[in-house]
Structure 1
Amino acid sequence: MLEVHQLVIAYGRRTVLSGVDFTLPAGASAAVQGRSGSGKSSLLAAILGMVTPSSGDITVNGESVIRMRSAARRDFLRHTVSMVFQHGELIDELEPSENVEVAALLAGQSRHDARQSAAQLLSDLDVQATGILTRDLSGGERQRVAVARALITKPQLVLADEPTGSLDAEFRDMVGDLVLSIPERWGSSVLMVTHDPDLAARADSSYRVVAVPGESSRWEAVA
């Protein structure tokens, strides 16, 4: 599903990541750990086509996203990859269902299909879909809405950037369980960035980005 080969990411003269090399099979989960500023989010941004690597390659479902033209890459990734952000990045003034529907509409689904799919996903995730504003949801409910929004386009790959980082212990465990259940329940592969070693240890594979002072971060597989 996802292959990252000898990836190097640099900003100006500063190399952030070097030698990133791993494979994420279809229907599997992987976790990436590392200190803040070590380059974890830069890796996700490169997979999303938001950052152009200095060298190396990223292949999603057999297609090199690095070699695609911008318009083709944007269209391909919109239908193949979705993102769960740490703080949800939801619109508080909308109902939960409306927040989820937006992603489907942007991906080209009809309003009818988007509404039905959003209602079903939110029901599956035990979140009230309508009759409440998103700002009135608990932290755990907000993250479940964010997961529903990521899943509504039926992506083959879900990226999660610190999906439990802003939650207390009760909601952290709940959302962690949910993210790790995505491959089995919905068939998507999951790549998540996390500071939580216990959560990372539960993924099918785990990697660590080690920041080296004065050098680029080092990529390591965790046994």
Structure 2
Amino acid sequence: MINTFHTAYNPPPVPPRAGYSRPQPPGNTPLVKFLSVMLLLLIILTFGGFLYLFQKLNVQHQEKYNEDMAILQRLQGSEATEKVARLTGAASFKGPAAHMILQNEHTAKSTGERLSNKLHWDLDHSFLQDVRLSSTRDTLTIQYPGIYFIYSQVTFSKHSDSALKQAIKSKVPQERKKEDKEILRSFCSLNTNNSHLCTASLSGVFRLKKDQQLYVTVTNTSLVNRDSCSFGLFKLQ
């Protein structure tokens, strides 16, 4: 007998056979999970590495910036010092150096300069660097041995029966000599009939020892014009 019954519904699914299991989707396999974890770790490590490099470069840039700013400040300070030196007439020199200006009449009397033929110097208006000035303000003491250029200028404004002389004398305490050594001298003369000035200048190059002392003497300090006298030195090598 032929079945002529028709329906629009699909036939029911065939029941699974005994011992059969449906295959798992590929995305749920242990290998895919492992690769996913490794990829995540790689992303984290890459991001962490970039972050570390960024922080390191930022720190290096900041340190370089701070170093450049420090150098710039030192250069600006040096330029400012040199500018002040030029404006004030002081010497601009990095090694041991001195340029001494003579004390005025009032200060000279208070320090007892009149009792000696040594010239006393005004520390407030002089330039002194790595060279010591004695407490009596008349002697320079060398702190760093070497070859020095030494100079002095003294202007006389009054006539004297004896020669108008200036000299630079040296003393080395370690040698303990009885008399100080005269290393430079110069002379000038004035006519008794006029009041013109005369200037005695001198300069020279000498090898000086540590603690060696230098000072300037004149015929008579009362004959000196205090506006035109100086004494100085600087280290050549």
- Larger helix proportion of the pair: 1
Is TM > 0.5 for Structure 1 vs Structure 2?
A: no
TM-score (norm 1): 0.24
Higher relative contact order (CA 8 A, sep 6+): 1
Larger Rg: 2
Q: Structure 2 length as normaliser, TM-score? A: 0.23
